[in-house]
Amino acid sequence: MKLKIEYRHHLPSDSFAGLVRQEINELNTCHRIEEASVFIERQPRATPPFRISLHLITSGPELTEEANDHTLRTALGKVIARVREKLEPRGPLPRRTRRPISAAVLQQRGTPTPTQQPIQP
């Protein structure tokens, strides 16, 4: 998964970037996320001053959410909650299982099918 975090009018913080990574990785365990873009903005003249927007590229449709709040952590919590609400109806990742090989494919390969006995020389 590729993660891109951008800041505008706010100094980057390693601890907050780690929190963002942790939240996105938790989402990635339940749903396949190929790329995540997080935009963190401090709007000095706005109330509430912090805005976080999140754009996820998934195996299904892309998701875009944003939230405003007085603190960065609360804004991040709101964005993640909204994304979880949208991802929940999709269900978890499907389990990867091997499909059985058809008898026709086995014959093309020259491999005996389970009902055929190998030819004895």
Query: How far is it, in rounded angstroms, from Cα 77 to Cα 99?
Result: 40
Listed residue (37, 34, 30) closest to 85, CA to CA? 30
Structure tokens at 2: 């590729």
End-to-end CA distance of the chain: 53
pLDDT tens digit sequence for 93-103 = 666 566 666 77
Which is more confident, 9 or 96? 9
The residue ranges of every structural domain in the chain are 2-90
The pLDDT of residue 71 is 94
Please give the model's pTM, rounded to 2 decimal places: 0.71
Q: Which CATH superfamily is domain 2-90 in?
A: Ribosome hibernation promotion factor-like (3.30.160.100)
Q: What's the sign of the alpha-carbon dihedral 64, 70, 76, 78?
A: negative
The pLDDT of residue 75 is 96
Angle of CA points 24, 81, 22, to nearest 5°: 20
Single-letter code of the amino acid located at 121: P
> Which range is most confident: 10-14, 73-77, 85-89, 95-99?
73-77
pLDDT tens digit sequence for 20-33 = 999 999 988 888 89
